[in-house]
């Protein structure tokens, strides 16, 4: 008999575990109402926690060295930024503070004594969300500052005429797990419910039927429901 692949084996283990524990479900059971809002944290600012991504634009200031400072340094697709004297420096995946230390270290190897470098993220391309489902122009959109669900949907030119506004699914990667929660956009518009904060990396799917199609019948591990999100086993 043909041996199943690793991915099929993992899926089988998940299915069997769900059956054994009685904890299998689908996106229809994503938490709603107060349970959905419970897990929405405050959005982080672009700063120490943000990790530099390809295509980000940086301001790099070398103290007392204007000839070595850069006002608009774009990170390449390979995650590099080109500095005077030292050439390409790998910065992708680093915080601004870490990138400052790396660049200072390179400059200090041969050219400067104890250089002081400050890196500021001017344009954070890595801070993006996906808006999909029953919207006029689905796609990837940059996040500048704080963002609510209504604004996120508006970035995709708004919902379609027949959109299911009471079934807006937000998918988020958190603590190594993919989770989902469902919100009522109609209630938010009427002021009957708060506008949840959308974080960089989130996926917003308008309409439960579209969410089910996009998620492809992914199994949900329900023990996380109490925290406000349902954990999705698998990828989008």
Of residues 78 and 177, more confidently modeled: 78
How far is residue 6's CA from residue 152's CA, in Å, rounded to a whole number?
Answer: 37
In the chain, how many domains are there? 2
Residue 132 corresponds to which tokens in the numbers above? 């999909």
Mean pLDDT of 29-38: 72
Tell me the percentage of the chain whose pLDDT exceeds 70.
72
Domain end residue (candidates: 91, 123, 155): 123
Q: 51 in a domain, yes or no?
A: no
- Per the structure, the complete domain to which residue 87 belongs is given by 57-123
Alpha carbon 148 to its chain's center: 14
Question: In the structure, what pLDDT confidence band is assigned to residue 22 with cuts at 50, 70 and 90?
Answer: very low
> Same domain, yes or no, for 149 and 225?
yes
Same domain, 97 and 153: no
What is the rounded CA–CA span in Å between residue 28 and residue 33? 13
217-226 pLDDT, tens digit per residue, is 554 444 444 4
Are 194 and 223 found together in one domain?
yes
Q: In the structure, what pLDDT confidence band is assigned to residue 178 with cuts at 50, 70 and 90?
A: confident
In a domain, 1, yes or no: no
Contacts of 217 (CB under 8 A, 6+ apart): 26
Q: 128: which residues sit within 8 A by CB, 6+ positions away?
A: 140, 141, 142, 143, 200, 201
Same domain, 150 and 226: yes
Residue 62: pLDDT band by 50, 70, 90 thresholds? Answer: very high
Tokens of 236: 């989008």
Same domain, 144 and 117: no
* pLDDT reported for residue 40: 53
**C-beta separation of 76 from 54 below 8 A:** yes
User: Considering the domain boundaries, does residue 194 fall inside one?
Assistant: yes
DSSP lists the bridge partners of residue 139 as: 131
Structure tokens at 45: 């600012």
* One domain for residues 142 and 228: yes
Has this prediction a pTM greater than 0.75? no
Q: Is residue 148 part of a domain?
A: yes
**CATH at residue 91:** 3.30.1950.10
Domain CATH code at residue 35: 3.10.560.10
The CA distance from 187 to 178, in Å, is: 26
């Amino acid at each position: 008999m043909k041996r199943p692949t690793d991915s099929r084996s993992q899926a089988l283990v998940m299915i069997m575990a769900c059956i054994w524990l009685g904890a299998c479900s689908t996106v229809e059971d994503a938490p709603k109402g107060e349970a959905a809002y419970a897990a929405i944290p405050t959005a982080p600012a672009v700063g120490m926690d943000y990790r530099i991504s390809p295509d980000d634009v940086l301001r790099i200031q070398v103290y007392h060295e204007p000839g070595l400072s850069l006002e608009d340094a774009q990170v390449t697709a390979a995650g590099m930024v080109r500095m005077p004297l030292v050439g390409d420096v790998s910065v992708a995946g680093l915080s601004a503070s870490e990138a400052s230390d790396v660049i200072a270290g390179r400059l200090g190897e041969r050219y400067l004594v104890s250089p002081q470098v400050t890196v500021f993220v001017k344009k954070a391309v890595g801070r993006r969300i996906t808006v999909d489902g029953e919207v006029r122009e689905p796609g990837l959109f940059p996040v500048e500052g704080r963002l609510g669900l209504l604004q996120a949907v508006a970035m995709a030119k708004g919902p379609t005429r027949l959109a299911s506004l009471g079934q807006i699914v937000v998918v988020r990667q958190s603590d190594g797990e993919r989770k989902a929660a469902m919100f009522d956009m109609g209630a938010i518009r009427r002021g009957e419910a708060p506008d949840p904060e959308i974080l960089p990396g989130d996926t917003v799917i308008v309409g439960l039927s579209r969410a089910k199609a996009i998620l492809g019948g992914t199994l949900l591990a329900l023990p996380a429901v109490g925290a406000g999100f349902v954990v999705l086993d698998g990828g989008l």
